[in-house]
Amino acid sequence: MGRTVEVPEIEMQDTVRLPARETAVIVVDMQNDFVKEGGKLVVPDAASTLPAIQALLEKARKADVVVFYTQDTHHQGDPEWTIWGEHCRAGTWGHAIVEELSPRPGDRIIQKERYDGFYGTSLDHDLRVLGIRHLVIVGTVANICVLHTAGSAALRYYDVVVPVDGISALTPFDMEAAKRQIHFLYRGKLTTVEGVIFQ
């Protein structure tokens, strides 16, 4: 149809200060199938976010901020494969979190079967046990698993922060749509990894 749609202004914050003891970082689905050449559903810009996510994790670990990973996990007959094709089959190379972001002792891995990291998982319980109120969310895919996890967090009244240099999408449109929804609908704060300060 050739129609041009103007993207509404999306507010970015230069700095977001967060209390380290009440904050967790969530790395969403940074797995070989989404990030690495040869993966089954590679997101074009996912690999380019690795340095930013590495920097965020280094900053978080220095401040003793707890780190969670979500891991998209599917088994034979999973109905999601009728939508996207087979991907992230449990136990395969594609299912593994990328080596550059390998979880460390004390990090937590949440295996999930749908887009939302909270749906059918222990994530909310685990965060509340730790007294977490603020979430810094990075990963892929911006308008699918990142957005649904951020939205689900906001609906549970967590304070959501998304460094935009740490997320990736299938298309530029999808990226802008995700940023718009996180900011406008869920009142999440958009910033950069450099702008996240744990104190």
The encoded tokens of residue 156 equal 């549970």
Residue with tokens 């593994």: 96
Q: What is the phi/psi pair of residue 174, to 5°?
A: -60, -40
Tell me whether residue 107 is one of the annotated catalytic residues: no
The per-type count for the chain, helices as H runs and strands as E runs, is 6, 9
Residues in CB range of 13: below 8 A, 6 or more apart: 189, 190, 191, 195
CA distance 105 to 103: 7
Q: Which of 29, 33, 72, 116 is catalytic?
A: 29
The encoded tokens of residue 199 equal 């104190």
Tell me whether residue 112 is one of the annotated catalytic residues: yes
Q: Which of 78, 88, 116, 145 is catalytic?
A: 145
The encoded tokens of residue 128 equal 């509340």
Q: Which of 36, 107, 112, 159 is catalytic?
A: 112
Helix ranges (H only) for 120-196 are 123-129, 147-155, 172-180
> What proportions of the chain, in percent to the nearest 5, are helix, strand and coil?
35, 25, 45
Tell me whether residue 72 is one of the annotated catalytic residues: no
Residue with tokens 């004390």: 106
CA distance 60 to 136: 10
Catalytic residue numbers, as ranges: 29, 112, 145
